[in-house]
Amino acid sequence: MPNLKKILRKIGGVLIPPLAYLLMRIIWLTTSKKFHFITPIGEEQHVCVCWHGELFMSPQAYRHIHKKHKASAIISQHFDGSLIAGTLNLLGIRPLRGSTRKGAHQVLLQAFKSIKKGEEVLITPDGPKGPRHHMSDGVIGIALKSKLPIFVMNFTAESFWQFKSWDKFVIPKPFTKVDFYIQSISLEGMELDVAKKYLSDKMLEHTILDSKQVASSK
């Protein structure tokens, strides 16, 4: 049985990312999208963030705005992380395997190396296992030490499916309206706790929060 599990995981690791990418592109192309730039986003380098539950659309929004910018993403070493890494690769986003909580030192070193090479680093502050919408220290540390602004990506959808997973993963339904909220913010000069609350508040301004919104979307 252990060998069978390994074989199935290997098969899944090959087949699932391109299928997930195909589904992402179908949803992207069939939805009506509106971009709200709360602040201007230029081509300057950023640290980029979205909630874990918004990974279906936010990396595509990132690539829509920064089409050619070199980018990498911190992705957990779990099997689910492997699937996400394979999918993001197809969007031209290079995976950095690790977590800002587990194996933090190594992945943070990778992140700073990527930043020095001019890449933008994408992070889910509440990944890889939550709690949902919890702000980790890692993203704040990267932003403060690199002195880069943060590219915040959020979205809401008029109609969507939402998983019962810890992150309440959201997939907009085809042909629905999706509103993207994009902003660039600076944490320069802030203490860690103040910066965590400030970024968390900004990321919670435009996101799908609870089951009441799920019920109203049906």
CA 201 → CA 57, 76, 121, distances in Å?
20, 25, 21
Q: What is the pLDDT of residue 117?
A: 96
Residue 142 C-beta-side C-alpha neighbours within 13 Å: 33
Domain boundaries, the chain: 2-217
Alpha-carbon gap, residue 168 to 164, rounded angstroms: 6
Q: Which CATH number is associated with domain 2-217?
A: 3.40.1130
Alpha-carbon gap, residue 160 to 164, rounded angstroms: 13
Who contacts 203 (Cβ-Cβ below 8 Å, separation ≥6)?
49, 50, 51, 125, 133, 135, 152, 154
Task: Examine the pLDDT at 5 and tell me if it is beyond 80.
Answer: no
Least confident of 23-27, 56-60, 125-129: 125-129
Mean pLDDT of 166-180: 97
Task: Examine the pLDDT at 183 and tell me if it is beyond 80.
Answer: yes
Q: What is the pLDDT of residue 214?
A: 43
- Rg of the chain over CA atoms, in angstroms? 17
Q: What is the pLDDT of residue 65?
A: 97
Alpha-carbon gap, residue 188 to 99, rounded angstroms: 24
Task: Examine the pLDDT at 75 and tell me if it is beyond 70.
Answer: yes
Sign of the torsion angle spanned by Cα atoms 97, 100, 102, 103:
positive
What is the CB neighbour count within 10 angstroms for residue 3?
7
Q: What is the pLDDT of residue 1?
A: 54
Q: What pTM, to 2 d.p., does this model score? A: 0.89
Q: Choose among 188, 177, 179: nearest CA to 150.
A: 188
Q: What is the mean pLDDT of the chain?
A: 91
Task: Examine the pLDDT at 213 and tell me if it is beyond 60.
Answer: no
Task: Examine the pLDDT at 216 and tell me if it is beyond 60.
Answer: no
Q: What is the pLDDT of residue 100?
A: 59
Q: What is the pLDDT of residue 218?
A: 42
Q: What is the pLDDT of residue 2?
A: 63
Task: Examine the pLDDT at 121 and tell me if it is beyond 90.
Answer: yes
Mean pLDDT of 89-116: 85
Mean pLDDT of 148-160: 97
Mean pLDDT of 124-146: 92
Name the band, by pLDDT with cuts 50, 70 and 90, for residue 102: low
Q: What is the pLDDT of residue 106?
A: 83
199 or 101, greater pLDDT: 199
